[in-house]
Amino acid sequence: MRTITVLGATGSIGASTLDLVRRNRDSFRVLALTANAQAAELAVLAREFGAEVAVVADESRLADLREALAGSGIEAAAGEAALVEAAARGADITVAAIVGCAGLAPTMAAIEQGKVVALANKEALVSAGFVMTAAVARTGATLLPVDSEHNAIFQCLTGNDPAHVRWITLTASGGPFRDWSLDRLHAATPAEAVKHPNWSMGAKISVDSATMMNKGLEFIEAFHLFPVGVERLRIIVHPQSIVHSMVEYRDGSTLAQLGPSDMRVPIASALAWPERMDTPCAPLDLAAIGELTFRHPDESRFPATRLAREAVIAGGAAPAILNAANEIAVAAFLDGQIAFTRIVQCAENVLESCPLPPPASLDEVIAVDREARVKAREAMEPVR
């Protein structure tokens, strides 16, 4: 029996995680569950799983949460400090599944406990980069990637010496607009962007998949998780999302991890690691899928991956700035304020106009993130 905390319990990754916990009640005891503002939904989950504490980030929802938990004996709390406190309760395994840089401080608090952190919240690692990996090294925490590509790479590296890696290849579905012309991309709507062909995900990551910024963020995530050097990382478009990523070694052997497009597979891999657990996913039927295809990304239509590579090479605060500007631009797009193609343009403009020294601590990362958000909001003049 292990204790588990789910940061971002009401989201897509949170739901997939809790689905696995529900099917394995004998293996996990839930410590803390958190959400942004969904007090009622969170209370239902906290009651179902008998959590010790439930936390909403939005303090204006505390009264609702308290009311919904009345008589349950479950603690209710709210605000950023309460999120961090919940993450610091030392669960054996913490699933970091908040979306965006909002998840950074609680994820770092979990890492400080030196236990297992299953990381879905890629924006936190993109922003904090070396600060986070240094904390992992210092505390002896185990950082297990939940992002399907990174979980695949992690599995393909197991038992091998990273010194022998020739390439790490991240696969990308290409998103819902993979074959769209630039003109059509310009007019893409939020409803079209959140409709991913292969995966069912939260709105922000769905837009990131459509711009390919998701793959850009994942490139930076891979750079920090698997230190083989930026020149050994590459991206290939694979529309079927069955091969989740690959590692090629110096002898010409390529190891790949394959599986259904269901996040419960990589989440289960992290929850059970180094063991394995059952998932309800249908076995992979390659004969029914028939064809797996691959092609090079088109960075003229989807410049986000180029931008991310440049940010890694520039180093310092660049990845944190890129991430913050992208978060603001995606929110503006979802809100109907800017055109689809302006999202990545805006991130690029902010990146160029915002040279900040490399952040050396969590507080400095948060300061960079805040400043880049201000710049991004200024850069957001509507074009429609």
Contact region with Mg ion (CB under 5 A), list: 75-83, 144-152, 153-161, 337-345: 144-152
Of all helices (H) and strands (E), which one includes residue 345? helix 342-353
> What's at 302, amino acid-wise?
F
| Contacts of ligand NAD in 111-170 (CB under 6 A) | 120-123, 147
Q: Which does 331 bind (CB under 5 to 8 A by kind): ligand NAD, Mg ion, none?
A: none
Shortest Å distance, C-beta 99 to Mg ion: 13
| Residue 169 binding result from ligand NAD, Mg ion, none, given CB thresholds of 5 to 8 Å by partner type | none
- Report the site for ligand NAD in 25-44 (rule: CB under 6 A): 35-36, 38
Output the six-digit token pair for 163. 């010194």
Binding site residue list for 1-deoxy-D-xylulose 5-phosphate: 122, 148-149, 173, 196, 209, 214-215, 218
Q: How far is the CB of 29 from ligand NAD (least distance, A)?
A: 20
- What one-letter code names the amino acid at 245? S
Restricted to residues 175-234, the positions that interact with Mg ion (CB under 5 A) are none
Measured CA distances, 345 to 101, 195, 214, 336, 380 (Å) = 20, 22, 15, 16, 10
Closer residue to ligand NAD (CB): 60 or 253 = 60
Burial class for 19, CB neighbours closer than 10 Å (0-12, 13-18, 19+): middle
Task: Write out the binding residues for ligand NAD, residues 78-117 only, by CB under 6 A.
Answer: 97-99, 102
- 322 within 8 A of 366, measured Cβ to Cβ: no
Cβ atoms 55, 82 nearer than 8 A? yes
Give the integer Cα–Cα distance in Å for 45 and 133: 31
One residue of 4, 5, 14, 30 binding ligand NAD per CB under 6 A: 14
Cβ-based nearer residue to ligand NAD, 167 or 199: 199
Provide, rounded to whole angstroms, the least separation between the CB of residue 123 and ligand NAD. Answer: 5
Piece of the chain touching Mg ion by CB under 5 A; list 54-62, 73-81, 147-155, 183-191: 147-155
Q: If you compute the radius of gyration of the chain from its CA atoms, what whole number of angstroms results?
A: 20
Asked if 147 interacts with Mg ion (CB under 5 A), we say: yes
Footprint of ligand NAD on 249-268 (CB under 6 A) = 263
Q: Which stretch binds Mg ion (CB under 5 A): 41-49, 145-153, 238-246, 357-365?
A: 145-153
From the list 110-118, 202-210, 236-244, 339-347, the region that binds ligand NAD by CB under 6 A is 202-210
CB of 98: closest distance to ligand NAD in angstroms?
Answer: 4
Closest CA to 57 of 85, 88, 29: 85
The residue count for binding ligand NAD (CB under 6 A) is 26
Segment 324 to 353, residues that bind Mg ion, using CB under 5 A: none
State how far the Cα of 378 lies from the Cα of 372, in Å rounded to an integer. Answer: 10
Cα distance between residue 248 and residue 124, in whole Å: 27
Q: How far is the CB of 359 from Mg ion (least distance, A)?
A: 25
280, 270, 208, 111: CA torsion to nearest 10? 150
Among 21, 46, 54, 57, binds ligand NAD (CB under 6 A): 57
Nearest residue (CB) to Mg ion, 127 versus 148:
148
In the chain, where do the E strands start and end? Answer: 2-7, 28-35, 53-56, 75-78, 93-96, 116-119, 142-145, 165-172, 233-237, 243-249, 254-258
DSSP state of 281: P
Angle between helices 122-139 and 213-225 (to 10 degrees): 10
- The minimum distance between CB 149 and Mg ion, in angstroms, equals 5
Q: Which does 99 bind (CB under 5 to 8 A by kind): Mg ion, ligand NAD, none?
A: ligand NAD
Q: Give every CB contact of residue 198 below 8 A, 6+ residues apart in sequence.
A: 173, 240, 241, 261
**Which residues lie near Mg ion (CB under 5 A)?**
147-149
Residues engaged in binding ligand NAD (CB under 6 A): 8-14, 35-36, 38, 57, 97-99, 102, 120-123, 147, 199, 201-202, 204-205, 263
